[in-house]
């Protein structure tokens, strides 16, 4: 059973370009979470999605950032018109989404390291 898969592992973008980060959750998981880790900091929650629904986007910047988790395919975190301050590691996590014990555990991918030059 493959873990949470993120791609690309490393992404370099020039200022003003768009960045698209992909996340395939673990098999059987229907809940996806995106976190951002700035250099030398802990992870900060961005958004929580279920299939075709955004459940909680309280951590998303109001502009330029969007996320989706379509019925088919991976979850996408999209950053438009990137700026230097967007350089960070972006981690995706997934959970089964069922009530009870299993929903307490979030399994993380290896992250996408975005560098804006």
Partner 1 sequence: GEDVEQSLFLSVREGDSSVINCTYTDSSSTYLYWYKQEPGAGLQLLTYIFSNMDMKQDQRLTVLLNKKDKHLSLRIADTQTGDSAIYFCAESETGANNLFFGTGTRLTVIP
Cα–Cα dist 87/110, whole Å: 16
- What is the closest distance, in whole angstroms, from the C-beta atom of residue 13 to partner 1 in the complex? 20
28 lines the binding site for partner 1 (CB under 8 A): no
Q: Is 1 in the site for partner 1 (CB under 8 A)?
A: no
**Site membership for partner 1, residue 31 (CB under 8 A):** yes
Tell me which stretch binds partner 1 (CB under 8 A): 11-19, 28-36, 64-72, 78-86: 28-36
Q: How many residues bind partner 1 (CB under 8 A)?
A: 28
3-state secondary structure of 110: coil
* Distance, CA of 56 to chain centre: 13
Measured from the CB atom, is 81 or 103 closer to partner 1?
A: 103
Q: DSSP string of 22-44?
A: EEEPPTT--EEEEEEE-TTS-EE
CA angle 29, 110, 100 (to 5 degrees): 30
Q: How far apart are CA 117 and CA 107, in angstroms?
A: 30
Q: Should residue 111 be labelled a site residue for partner 1 when binding is judged by CB under 8 A?
A: yes
What does the binding site for partner 1 look like in residue numbers (CB under 8 A)?
4, 6, 31, 33, 35, 40-45, 48, 55-56, 58-59, 91, 93, 95, 103-111
């Amino acid at each position: 059973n493959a873990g949470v898969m993120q791609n690309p592992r490393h992404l370099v973008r020039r200022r003003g370009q768009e960045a698209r980060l992909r996340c395939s959750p673990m098999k059987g998981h229907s809940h996806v979470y995106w976190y951002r880790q700035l250099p030398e900091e802990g992870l900060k929650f961005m958004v929580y999605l279920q299939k075709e629904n955004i459940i909680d986007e309280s951590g998303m910047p109001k502009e330029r950032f969007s996320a989706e988790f379509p019925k088919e395919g991976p979850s996408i975190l999209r950053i438009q018109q990137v700026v230097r301050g967007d350089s960070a590691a972006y981690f995706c996590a997934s959970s089964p989404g069922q009530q009870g014990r299993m929903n307490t555990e979030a399994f993380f991918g290896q992250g996408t390291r975005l560098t804006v030059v």
